[in-house]
Chain A
Amino acid sequence: MFKEKIQSILKNICGALVLPVLMYVVMMIFCFQNGKMYYGSVAMWRSLISTIAASATCAYGIGIQFKSGRLDFSAGSVMLLSAIIAGNVSQMFGNNLIIFSLLCIFLCVLLNIGVAIVYIYGRLPIIIVTLGMALLYESITAVVFEGRGVNLTANSTLKSLTLFPLVLIPLVMSIFIYAIFTYWSVTGRQAQILANNQQAGVNIGINEQKNILVSYIYSGIILGLATMIYASTGIISASFSSLSSIGGMFTNLLPVFVGLILARFCGDTMGILLGVITMSLMEFAMKAVLKAELGSAVTTMMIGVFLLFINIADAKGAVFIKWVQSKLGK
């Protein structure tokens, strides 16, 4: 009995860590071959922590909706608009960090509630609602503050949230809130029911509308934490004509997928974090070896292909394994 338990714990740990460890080793070889020997050093981890925090918070925010079967395209635009408004307003008020943080969270929650309300009362398929709201929010960024976006890269106070150690605050908080939602909140448990059998859940009497609204508030808070970091990472420009926020949001969707797959080993909270770490390791290596812009492009491409493969593997993995087994058997 005891031995079985140890065996199953070991199996879980191995399963969960396979991906990040593999990525680390492959990237390390890639970097060392190209003369970048600082891969794996403390300095790397120091700078990586910011990327991890930025991605993880965003992934947790998207993950709450994704778990309920809602592919939310509006998350990126919510963060964009909040960043621009919060950043500009805080600068007007003397770069107050507290005001900035509170504004980020408040705005994200507000915008998210907007999306939830349109979904609940519009009764449209979620992809259309979130695409439409993403358009709307992006278009607003072109109008507020004369469409100048926000640039906090030179702002040392506000930027401190992107650097160690302050960056840990939003990271830890978002992990905590995600865990509360998933394991301990009534809304989270009921959301799970609605996700697995919507009609039964509604028949039983679970209030679907209230559940959606509350879950959007939770993800709004987490996105607010993500915005706190995101707003200072680079020049944030307003969007004038297209769905520019979707790209950024989708790169953070990959860890969510990975997280849900690893959930059988370590639970989705940890799984998402491991997914983020894996991705960040890859991105760092790409940026180090190739030129910055090129590195971004290649990372983006690889993420895209990776996303596709992971989805297919998850959907058809069992079938594929059986097929391989049957071929080997013959």
Chain B
Amino acid sequence: MKENEIIFQAINIKKEFDVTVALKGADITLKRGEIRGLIGENGSGKSTIMSIAAGMQSATSGEMVYKGKTWNPTSMIDANLQGISMILQEANTIPGITVAQNIFAGREKEFTSHGIVRIKKMIRAAQALLDKYEIGYIHAADQIDRYNFEDRKLIELVRCINENIEILVVDETTTALSHNGRNVLYKLIHQLAEAHKTVVLISHDIDEILEHCTSLTVLRDGEIMGELTKEDMQKSDIANKIRYLMIGREMTGDYYRSDYDSVCSEVSRLSFQHVTFGRIKDFNLEVHAGEIVGIGGLSGCGMHEIGRAGYGLEKLIEGKVLCDGKIVKSCKDAIKYGIGYISKNRDTEALILNGSIQDNIVLPSLPDLQKGIYISKKSEHMLSDKEIERFHIKCADGNQWVNTLSGGNKQKVSFAKWTAKGANIIIMDCPTRGVDVGVKQFMYQQIMEMKKAGNAILMISEELTELIGMSDRLLIMKDFEISGQFKRSSGLKPADMINYMV
């Protein structure tokens, strides 16, 4: 077991889902003791290739070699037991059962004697593991529902790591963790590397990768764009070079906004007054006409809930949400007063996937289109065609179903719903998630048009660069309250905000 010995190789991996191509033939070589960073935009394939290595899905074509032998895991458990483990980005713990059952999920057979599962034995083994990783404050016999999101991620971490581990893949996990949690994770990563194990850190946070990784691979659109060594990573302008590789071209024209003029109207369109619900207490905010207010923070800081409250989706215990002085009690009110909401859960909330583009676009506008009780097909057509035109939505026509569209085009439909309605206060949550770079630029331009037309925009996002690039006023939230406010200026950097977020 020497350092720098090649432990894993993926050769010409292709992955296709129906018509989407996630990976176009990617090669990766991993060595022992490496902390490899995998960076790329959404849709670049960085999660896909490692999930194939970790047994979660299989490649359409290509080969893998692990420890000198052909590698073809049948499931994540199979891969886990043989040394490759992956922590996924989504919450992957199972509610309603104990911590111990979560840690050993799928491995119940190991605690079986005479065909009977011995729960007590499982609990003892689980607690030993928790103590080993210095998170012994979590009790293995407790129901997992008693623990918050971060503790559950740590429990997931414990699940993934066992004595056999050789390669640990961490997929965008750090965004969910607080300062403490991240430290536990980074410490673990470095411990593993020192013990000649390999870690793959998947992220789109360039700073994090530069700090902790020993080498770096950049992906874009399903292909490997570049590999950087430790020396490369020390160079001075490396962050820009990485960004160039990620995005693929010099940003011509403005990606975000070019102006630093954050003047807007004095008229407050959307007002949060002493809003209290869930874990949010006494939240206050005014969004003015022609203003883009951004809210950022770690996921779980409460910003998504504020967006929902602004649209009338949350029952307030105290305080109120006002739109032009009128109280917003439900989303029906919100729509009536001209508020639009683009949910961050695009496929499950914002859009009806099993429906046509036209049906989606006209949905909020139906009350306006009806004459008496009759709604003519022609009026629906005209409305949706106008929006398809405006947003350059790539489709055969308005009857095409939304689930056949790419991520970027789907997001355009989400926006089109509200421009069709004529909403002039738009709450957008993660507006460019899962959208490729070209479409992103287009969307930012559209948002600027909206601002210039006098709309009030509340932009909630987990991408700091996007918020810095677009907002007139940027709020950072932490633990369900506003922890910092920034005005638009050219000198703002994500590093300035981190302290307010963690």
Residues of A whose CB lies within 8 Å of any CB of B are 183-186, 189-190, 192-193, 195-197, 200-201, 203-207
Contacts and interface: CB of A to CB of B under 8 A. Distances in A.
Given A189-B108, A197-B93, A206-B106, A184 B117 contact: yes
Given A185-B117, A189-B101, A203 B94 contact: no
B92 interface: yes
Contacts of B112: 186
A193 B105 contact: yes
Contacts of B108: 186, 189-190
Contact residues of A: prevailing secondary structure: helix
A94 B78 CA distance: 53
Contacts of A205: 55, 74-78, 80, 106
B92 A196 contact: no
Contacts of B95: 196-197
B96 interface: yes
B81 to A, nearest CB: 10
Given A189-B101, A192-B101, 17 more contacts: A183-B117, A184-B116, A185-B117, A186-B112, A189-B108, A190-B108, A192-B97, A193-B94, A193-B97, A196-B95, A200-B94, A201-B94, A203-B88, A203-B92, A205-B55, A205-B76, A205-B78
B55 A196 contact: no
B109 A186 contact: yes
Contact of A200 (B78, B80, B93, B109): B93
A204 B117 contact: no
A241 B216 CA distance: 68
Which of A189, A193, A200, A204 has the largest count of B CB atoms less than 10 A from its CB? A204
B48 to A, nearest CB: 14
B420 interface: no
Which of A184, A190, A196, A205 has the largest count of B CB atoms less than 10 A from its CB? A205
A203 B97 contact: no
A67 to B, nearest CB: 11
Interface of B: 55-56, 74-78, 80, 88, 91-97, 101, 105-106, 108-109, 112, 115-117, 119
Nearest to A184: B116
Contacts of A203: 56, 76, 88, 92
A190 B91 CA distance: 18
A193 B92 contact: no
A200 B92 contact: yes
A196 B97 contact: yes
Nearest to A205: B75
6 contacts: A184-B117, A185-B115, A193-B101, A193-B105, A193-B106, A197-B93
A204 B97 CA distance: 16
A37 B105 CA distance: 55
A279 B136 CA distance: 46
B144 to A, nearest CB: 10
A205 B109 CA distance: 13
A163 to B, nearest CB: 34
Contacts of A204: 75-77, 92, 105-106
A207 B108 CA distance: 13
The 9 tightest CB contacts between A and B, nearest first, are A205-B75, A205-B77, A196-B96, A197-B94, A184-B116, A186-B108, A205-B76, A204-B106, A200-B92
Contacts of B117: 183-186, 189
A195 B77 CA distance: 19
Nearest to A204: B106
A211 B473 CA distance: 53
B94 A190 contact: no
Nearest to A189: B108
Contacts of A195: 96
B90 to A, nearest CB: 8
A197 B55 CA distance: 19
A95 B399 CA distance: 66
Which of B94, B109, B115 has the largest count of A CB atoms less than 10 A from its CB? B94
A196 B105 contact: no
Nearest to A207: B75
Nearest to A195: B96
Contacts of B115: 184-185
A205 B97 CA distance: 18
Contacts of A190: 106, 108
Given A189-B117, A192-B96, A196-B95, A206 B105 contact: yes
Contacts of B80: 205
B166 to A, nearest CB: 18
Nearest to B51: A203
Nearest to A190: B108
Contacts of B77: 204-206
Contacts of A200: 91-94, 105
Nearest to B73: A205
Contacts of A196: 94-97
A192 B112 CA distance: 17
Nearest to B94: A197
